[in-house]
Chain A
């Protein structure tokens, strides 16, 4: 099953490579990984999407906790949560296609953030499957470039990870 793990870790050089190294050394897979400092510049927050059986996820969580740079690990799947991903996508937009794409972007609540004679660049956020849906709604061959941030996640409600 797909899990979203949230990590707080020391904002140290090398901390990221410890996490990445753990996944490759133990043959766990990473679907996506995002990391940036928090409001406290000494702490980084990482959101990591992985998949595996319950046993595998348990081992991943234990090994992450064991890393000396990791302060806290939360499996967001254990409670209600929100996930968002940012996508920047550049599309071929000529002639009648231009209108069609604009309509689609509106439906998916994206924004056109750069325009040339032949292209649109679009910004869109949402859960990963919404971004996937947008991509598959596009006509074949119009995509010039896709940049996705990977998932960021946060728990719903009053609960806060600190």
Chain B
């Protein structure tokens, strides 16, 4: 005898499906097209809804929630402007392969195409920046579409999925059943790598004398940090991480040579330039990483492990492509390597390590630690010390982001949360909010700049409403520092519109949102301010650090130059 299924309205199906999917938090903002859903949310307490102050904030918060937890982040917004306000956040998640599921309300089915009030073609607008999107046409399809959305967002190379739900669908009723499995004939992500290719990779690894491991965000997305660490330690090879990959391998380990790319360390970039075997793991040869493609790793044979075949040989042709989940492939590779006797020995690698140590001797990250004026790097180093490298750090985009990546050493994955691919200013604050919601007992810090912070500042209200507390470190240089740096280097210091005139009083601003504001102007006060902030449990502590406005990020590879063509800091001798 078959059990009779419950008949529910679309709005109730939506909420039940989230619950059955195991979703605990939903970031959203109401409006006409989703009012049935909001009514259904009102009547339950399985899924907690966090009311943001701008839909962009919801997407960044949910995106960061996903990055920190590895579980999908969920957003609910209304049609029209609700949907378009999400586009920046969706594109941000897309570029960094974050599993975000965004539900947008839509005008009733019979009005679609009618230029109805608050109508926008959400599926069309978001199509270029989603992994996939759906328009739900019948209430009977709602539950299965939600299941598919989560499945597509979280499997393979993760990414954002948009589900557009017309209002009438949320009023219609049908029997509710949440599918346990999804089977889509057109979507079958690969997990296992090709055994023959993995064997070829092992053969190539055995020949290496100047090897380099280059791992990216894919290693974190695949939860492959353990495998990556075992693999790297077993081989004794140097490893660099991309901006998105920091924390996949312990940042304090002696085999770690720092981040690579435009603002990577001297040793990481030089080692890239001179390596003979490059093992790329869950990385995508982004232009900020490779610099000039013609001069990229000129003498290296390249192995590339990635779950997305379209990332392989996209910018740089590779010798051994391996399509598969990084965790799976690395486990298989480790098993193969453990049985091999012909791997490069410590002695074989000695000359290479000696060379790397010489490069490290350049001290590329040196800066004036004794400056009375606050050096931005100093603030990050102090933060690192005080949090013992164990905080969740979100950031915005600019110089402060690069300093955070360079000076905060991440030993664990999913701790460093930034918009690497799209470079979205405004990401940091809502991101911190999302992370703190996921991990209320963890230390969360947002490192931001005077220009970025105002782009999603309104979320301070959300933080107050839900008692979400973290520390905001505003590295206030009164400039769009990164823009100013480019203008200094490449436009003869013509600072066109990069100066932040009429900045608000950030202390009062934080206070007016009901939080705590501090202004710190001397290096001597940095540590005590940070200590005070990190102890606060209820409110956001916004520290406005008045930093040296002339400081630049070094090393730097100008766009389109090779890895060996770095600008180095003029302050190196101050080490």
Contact = CB atoms under 8 A, between A and B. Distances in A.
A60 to B, nearest CB: 9
Nearest to A58: B313
Interface string B435-459: 0000000000000000000000000
B314 A70 contact: no
A18 B135 CA distance: 14
Contacts of A13: 135
Contacts of A118: none
Contacts of A17: 124, 127
B127 A70 contact: no
B184 A68 contact: yes
Interface in B132-155: 132-133, 135, 152
B313 A55 contact: yes
A14 B317 CA distance: 33
B123 interface: yes
Contacts of B368: none
Contacts of B133: 14
Interface string A1-18: 000000001100110011
Interface string A38-65: 0000000000000000010011001101
Given A17-B127, A25-B128, A63 B187 contact: no
Nearest to B131: A68
B97 to A, nearest CB: 12
B186 A71 contact: yes
Contacts of A55: 313, 317
Given A59-B310, A63-B310, A69 B127 contact: no
A71 B309 contact: no
B521 interface: no
B390 interface: no
Interface residues of B, number: 19
Contact of A62 (B127, B131, B309): B309
A44 to B, nearest CB: 11
Given A9-B186, A10-B186, A59-B314, A68 B132 contact: yes
Contact of A18 (B127, B184, B308, B310): B127
Contacts of B317: 55
Contacts of A70: 186
B185 interface: yes
Interface in B150-167: 152
A55 B315 CA distance: 10
A17 B152 CA distance: 19
A21 B132 contact: no
A103 interface: no
A66 interface: yes
A68 B310 contact: no
A109 B132 CA distance: 46
A25 B126 CA distance: 13
Contacts, number: 37
Interface in B92-133: 123-124, 127-128, 131-133
A70 B187 CA distance: 8
Range, interface on chain A: 10 to 19
A89 B184 CA distance: 42
B94 to A, nearest CB: 12
Contacts of B152: 68
B128 A21 contact: yes
A63 to B, nearest CB: 5
B186 A62 contact: no
Q: Which of B131, B184, B310 has the most CB of A within 10 A?
A: B310
Nearest to A63: B310
A71 B124 CA distance: 21
Nearest to A68: B132
Contacts of A9: 186
Contacts of B124: 17
Nearest to B132: A68
A47 B197 CA distance: 32
Q: Which of A13, A17, A62, A63 has the most CB of B within 10 A?
A: A62
Contact of B310 (A14, A21, A25, A62): A62
A26 to B, nearest CB: 10
A62 B152 CA distance: 17
A65 B156 CA distance: 13
Contacts of A25: 128
Contacts of B184: 68
Interface in A59-92: 59, 62-63, 65-66, 68-71
A137 to B, nearest CB: 43
A62 B131 CA distance: 14
Contacts of A58: 313
Interface in A110-139: none
B311 to A, nearest CB: 9
Given A59-B314, A63-B310, A68 B135 contact: no
Given A68-B152, A68-B184, A14 B309 contact: no
A72 B185 CA distance: 9
Given A14-B123, A25-B128, A59-B314, A68 B309 contact: no
Interface string B300-317: 000000001110011001
B127 A21 contact: yes
Interface string B304-342: 000011100110010000000000000000000000000
A144 to B, nearest CB: 35
A71 to B, nearest CB: 4
Contacts of B132: 68-69
A86 to B, nearest CB: 28
Q: Which of B133, B185, B186, B314 has the most CB of A within 10 A?
A: B186
A69 B186 contact: yes
Nearest to A14: B123
Nearest to B161: A68
Interface of A: 9-10, 13-14, 17-18, 21, 25, 55, 58-59, 62-63, 65-66, 68-71
Given A17-B127, A69-B132, 6 more contacts: A13-B135, A14-B123, A63-B310, A66-B308, A68-B132, A71-B186
Instruction: Give the 6 A-B residue pairs with the shortest CB-CB distance, closest first.
Output: A62-B310, A68-B132, A71-B186, A62-B309, A68-B187, A63-B310
30 contacts: A9-B186, A14-B123, A14-B127, A14-B133, A14-B135, A17-B124, A17-B127, A18-B127, A21-B127, A21-B128, A55-B313, A55-B317, A58-B313, A59-B310, A59-B314, A63-B310, A65-B309, A65-B310, A66-B308, A66-B309, A66-B310, A68-B131, A68-B132, A68-B152, A68-B184, A68-B186, A69-B186, A70-B186, A71-B185, A71-B186
